[in-house]
Amino acid sequence: MSKTITIDPVTRIEGHAKITLQLDEQGEVSEAYFHVTQFRGFERICVGRPFYEMPYLMERICGICPVSHLLASAKACDALLAMKVPPSAGKLRRILNLAQLIQSHALSFFYLSSPDLLMGMDADPKERNLFGVMRKHPELGRGGIRLRQFGQQVIETLAGKRIHPAWVVPGGVNEPLTIEKRDKLLAQIPEVVAIAQKTLSWFKIEFETFREEIRTFANFPSLFMGLVTPDERAGYYEGKLRFTDSHGNIVADKLEAVNYPDYLGEAVEPFTFMKFPYYKPLGYPDGIYRVGPLARLNLVENCGTPLAQQEWVEFRALERGAVLSSFHYHYARLIEILFALEHIEEYLLDPIITKSHARYSASLNNLEGIGCCEAPRGTLIHHYRVDEQGLITWANLVIATGHNNLAMNRGLLQTARHFVRSEQLTEGMLNRVEAVIRAFDPCLSCSTHAYGQMPLQLRLISHQGKVLDEISRESFSGKHE
């Protein structure tokens, strides 16, 4: 008899979603669906509004990575003005982007996923959270809070506000960085670098105990995509797009983000508000690719900062071609935190950073603009068209988490097939099914241009589609004790 399992809500992820697993007559998982359940339609609500509002409207797509939307949007607006930004502003924007990478990765790793890693996938759900981590592993927990705090402090110092700042403007940034502020930030770097290194040393020992998860958490060949700079580093704020395959070979290179419709298509499926981007030359769904920390470390020929470079070499030695297990998104995230800290220091030491001229002005020169950068979760593209008055007539957003949609669904199926046994469903099984999604760190608010909460609900559905049994971890059953 075939059944369906629904996990509802999925917790410790960034958004609203649920998971359905379909079982066949043998009780084996045959299908897995990742439902993103929130919709807001930013692409439509922006129509008719002036383009210069976009950075501050679009950053409200997501409270976790507002800076990415702020920057992609500002870059699209720079393109509408047909202008470059002053060199100091370019560097300040880059620092802002890296600061956000740090805070977002710290959130994902320490606040959302470390409970699984520290206490085990089968741990008591009551303890399996940040507060449990603080009780049992206070040093690691405190380190995580500090890393996230540092990222947020850099954003606050530069942009005046931790969440939804209005400092980045078309043409540059609103206010230059003072020497005093710069020095304050620089003084903190050695401390946070030490935390990042300590966490990495711990993780490298710890992940050995997750062999089974490494083997089955969305571990399959796929393409990888991301921005790469001319000197072969991952380009977080700039660069051209590269696709590599699972052997590490370059499939396509130096693609201009502005031509994205030539090589990226999007499909719609009936079970989720999140679209499915695919690599056009391979079609749908064969054009599956992954983005984000794992992809970025797989794409490049070097990492670019001394400490992170050493870690990157070790990381790439895990496998002969590309590192394929999505479990290693966690590992890649820690290396990127270290890289971002070192790179912020380099930028801050550049005298240009405190130059007073940080904004150019121009009037509308183009009726179409595209802005692209790497958000913590992968490549982000904002594409706007305006009329002669500068009012938005059309917008398209290709969002980091969306690129991973095909891979998340396929990974879900792989993990569920391996761990879920219909005859005796356990908490730990369900938690692993959620954990594979957590490894991708999906930002569902972004990907549906709305935020989603993840209900996790296991439903047993017969192959005729009849609901036979339901094990619902439904968030709002409002159960009485």
Partner 1 sequence: MSKPTLATVWLDGCSGCHMSILDMDERLVELSEQFDLVYSPLVDYKEFPAHVDIALIEGSVSSDEDDRKIRLVRAHTRVLVSLGDCAVTGNVPAMRNPIPVPELLDSVYKGNGLLQEQVPTHCLPTLLPRVRPVHEVVNVDVFVPGCPPSADTIFTIISELLAGRVPDVAALSRFGA
Instruction: Pick one of 26, 388, 423, 479: the residue that binds partner 1 (CB under 8 A).
Output: 479
Distance set, CA 254 to CA 87, 146, 259, 297 (Å) = 23, 37, 11, 17
CB of 63 to ligand SF4, least distance (A): 5
Strand residue runs (E) in 289-345:
289-290
Under a CB-based contact definition with an 8 Å cutoff, are residues 324 and 436 in contact? no
Q: Which of residues 329-388 bind ligand SF4 (CB under 6 A)?
A: none
Instruction: Pick one of 40, 49, 60, 280: the residue that binds ligand SF4 (CB under 6 A).
Output: 60
CB of 116 to partner 1, least distance (A): 10
For partner 1, which stretch binds (CB under 8 A), given 56-64, 211-219, 223-231, 366-374? Answer: 56-64
Whether omega for the bond prior to residue 221 falls within 30 degrees of 0, making it cis, is no
CB of 92 to partner 1, least distance (A): 21
Instruction: Pick one of 64, 168, 214, 323: the residue that binds partner 1 (CB under 8 A).
Output: 64
CB of 276 to partner 1, least distance (A): 8
**40 part of the interface to partner 1, by CB under 8 A:** yes
Q: Which of residues 419-458 bind partner 1 (CB under 8 A)?
A: 431, 445, 449-451, 453-456
CB of 391 to partner 1, least distance (A): 15
Binding partner of residue 186 among ligand SF4, partner 1, none, CB cut-off 5 to 8 Å per kind: none
Q: How many CA atoms lie within 13 Å of 356's alpha carbon, on the beta-carbon side?
A: 0
Instruction: Pick one of 3, 105, 148, 382: the residue that binds partner 1 (CB under 8 A).
Output: 148
Nearer to ligand SF4 (CB atom), residue 57 or residue 258 = 57
Binding partner of residue 117 among partner 1, ligand SF4, none, CB cut-off 5 to 8 Å per kind: none
Binding partner of residue 152 among partner 1, ligand SF4, none, CB cut-off 5 to 8 Å per kind: partner 1
CB of 369 to ligand SF4, least distance (A): 24
Strand residue runs (E) in 170-249:
172-173, 223-228, 240-244
For partner 1, which stretch binds (CB under 8 A), given 23-31, 74-82, 129-137, 340-348? Answer: 129-137
Determine the 3-state secondary structure of 138 from DSSP: helix
Q: Name the token pair of 469.
A: 């049994």
d(CA 312, CA 293): 12
**Counting Cβ atoms within 10 Å, is residue 123 exposed (0-12), middle (13-18) or buried (19+)?**
middle
**197 part of the interface to partner 1, by CB under 8 A:** no
Instruction: Pick one of 3, 9, 234, 323: the residue that binds partner 1 (CB under 8 A).
Output: 9
State the DSSP string of 141-191: HHHHHHHHHHHHHHHHHHHS-SSS---EETTEESSPPPHHHHHHHHHHHHH
∠ at Cα 101 (97, 104), nearest 5°? 130
Place of tokens 């980091």: 400
Of all residues in this chain, which one has the CB nearest to ligand SF4 in the complex?
60
Q: Which of residues 230-269 bind partner 1 (CB under 8 A)?
A: 261, 265-269
Nearest to 392, CA basis, from 40, 42, 39: 42
**63 part of the interface to ligand SF4, by CB under 6 A:** yes
Interface residue list for ligand SF4 (CB under 6 A) = 60, 63
